């Protein structure tokens, strides 16, 4: 199946109040931790990154990396990097969340998604300062627009850089948004993380993420 793509339009988002607490975004220790961990991880995983990229290139037509507009700190959009796991390259208005048994996911892509290996290129986003190791997971721009109308305080999650992992993920609020309750719980967890942020909490969330790499029921 050929790769299809959509161009991202300009999107207006409701951003967090400048008066909102933002210790997590201003922490130099957190930023230093991000740079050190992302740099070491990219070096350590370089052979794996090359292997995965080669396997994607051999399996199906299309680019090795998937790029999509996401919302970052203070509502600023950025382009996220992931290994391509689908037969489509959706962006802009036409973004559909992946669901269990999604026919758009390639066989190799399914494995990468279950083990969260498709997220490894986001280490580059961390080094660029667009993401953090820990923070709210970034959503597609079109989802942010829709969900900000449904969830009070949704835009408050933009007070922090989006993360490779986060409090919502370790609590099981990952993957498909099946109903409003699940969405409310995810956003509540994201904002609770920002309001109660500490460097120690980041370390604990990293430790709690490790077992999920070997089996997360919400990864598909």
Sequence spans of domains, the chain:
23-213
Per residue in 158-176, pLDDT tens?
999 999 999 999 988 876 7
DSSP string, 138-196: P-BHHHHHHHHTTSTTGGGGGGS--EEE-HHHHTT--S---SHHHHHHHHHHHHHHHHT
pLDDT over 70 at 149, yes or no? yes
On the question of pLDDT at 213 being above 90, the answer is no
- Give the per-residue pLDDT at 20: 46
pLDDT at 11: 43
C-alpha span between 153 and 171 (Å, rounded)? 19
DSSP 8: P
Under the banding of pLDDT at 50, 70 and 90, the label for residue 218 is: low
The pLDDT value recorded for residue 181 is 83
For the chain, the average pLDDT equals 84
Give the mean model confidence (pLDDT) for residues 10-18. 46
Task: Give the global pTM.
Answer: 0.83
The mean pLDDT value for 75-104 works out to: 76
**117-121, 145-149, 153-157: lowest mean pLDDT where?**
145-149
């Amino acid at each position: 199946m050929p790769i299809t793509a959509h161009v991202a339009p300009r999107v207006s988002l409701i951003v967090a109040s400048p008066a909102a607490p933002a210790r997590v975004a201003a922490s130099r220790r957190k930023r230093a931790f991000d740079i050190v961990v992302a740099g070491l991880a990219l070096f350590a995983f370089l052979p794996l990154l090359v292997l995965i990229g080669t396997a994607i290139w051999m399996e199906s037509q299309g680019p090795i990396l998937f790029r999509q507009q996401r919302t970052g700190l203070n509502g600023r959009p950025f382009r996220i990097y992931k290994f391509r796991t689908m037969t489509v390259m959706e962006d802009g208005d036409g973004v559909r969340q992946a669901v269990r048994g999604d026919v758009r996911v390639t066989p190799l892509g399914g494995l990468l998604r279950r083990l969260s290996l498709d997220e490894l290129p986001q280490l580059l986003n961390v080094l660029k300062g667009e993401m953090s190791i820990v923070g709210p997971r970034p959503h597609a721009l079109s989802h942010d627009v829709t969900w900000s109308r449904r969830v009070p305080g949704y835009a408050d999650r933009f007070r922090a850089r989006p993360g490779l992992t986060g409090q919502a993920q370790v609590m099981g609020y990952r993957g498909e948004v099946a109903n409003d309750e699940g969405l409310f719980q995810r956003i509540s967890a994201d904002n609770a993380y920002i309001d109660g942020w500490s460097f120690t909490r980041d370390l604990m969330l990293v430790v709690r993420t490790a077992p999920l790499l070997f089996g997360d029921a919400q990864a598909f």
